[in-house]
Amino acid sequence: MNRTVYSIDGKELRQIDLDDSVFGLPANEDVIWYAINNELANLRLGTASTKDRAEVHGSNAKPYKQKGTGRARRGDKKSPIMVGGGVVFGPKPRDFSYAMPKKAKRLAMKSILSMKIQDDRLKIVEDFTVDSSKTKDLVKILRSLGADERTVVVLKDNDSKVKLAGRNVPWLSFLSFDKLRAHDLFYGRRVIMLETAAKNLSAFYAKNAEAAE
């Protein structure tokens, strides 16, 4: 498929041929949901912890005698029904992460990219950087490209100058073409992709497909 490449001023420059196997697929909503939940699960710390009655610090002695008080029988102060006692079936530290099949993850990324193309929310832009590393210079470029809401910029490499310029912009995030995240891509209202990143994506997924076979 052919898409327009824009300058940093928002003007049309030329046409670029995008691989249909990456940018022209029907959206697979199931695998997209799977990929997003996988990323969120892998981010969970799993550090929540409570103490059961065996771990609570306290005396094992009965608070009062068994009979003659008219009150219910009580074992010790660490009982779960006592204030300050143990917790029944409370959370313990655990690992929530799990592995997702590589083919499914690649399909999810391609489905999201295709969806953004179909919804006209992905714009190919000529390669640029921000030599000054100033936020105002980067925001000026983004404004000229129509990006004023939750935006994802897909870079051709790990451009530290661009990332430094954009770190104070709350609605902006950066991804490298070979390290995409389904959550950021899917929920990004606008996706700005550098021209070289778009070309590299086709080669990157083609290479992974050959390696998997």
Tell me if 151 is assigned to some domain: yes
- CA distances in angstroms from 210 to 104, 179, 197, 203, 205, listed in the order given: 15, 18, 20, 11, 9
Tell me if 185 is assigned to some domain: yes
Tell me if 196 is assigned to some domain: yes
What percent of the chain has a predicted confidence (pLDDT) above 90? Answer: 52
User: By the 8 A CB rule, do 18 and 164 touch?
Assistant: no
Tell me if 131 is assigned to some domain: yes
Tell me if 60 is assigned to some domain: no
- CA distances in angstroms from 107 to 100, 154, 160, listed in the order given: 12, 18, 29
At 189-200, the pLDDT tens digits run: 999 999 999 888
Structural domain count, the chain? 1
Q: What is the pLDDT of residue 209?
A: 57
Q: What is the pLDDT of residue 210?
A: 52
Tell me if 87 is assigned to some domain: no
- Note the pTM of the prediction, 2 decimals: 0.81
The residues pairing with 125 across neighbouring beta strands, listed in sequence order, are 6, 194
Tell me if 72 is assigned to some domain: no
The residues pairing with 15 across neighbouring beta strands, listed in sequence order, are 4
Q: What is the pLDDT of residue 174?
A: 93
**What domain range is 182 assigned to?**
2-28+101-212
At 85-109, the pLDDT tens digits run: 999 999 999 999 999 999 999 999 9
- Say which residue the tokens 């992974």 belong to: 208
What percent of the chain has a predicted confidence (pLDDT) above 70? Answer: 97
Residue 207: CATH number of its domain: 3.40.1370.10
Q: Residue 152: which region, alpha, beta or left (left: phi > 0; alpha: psi -120 to 50)?
A: beta
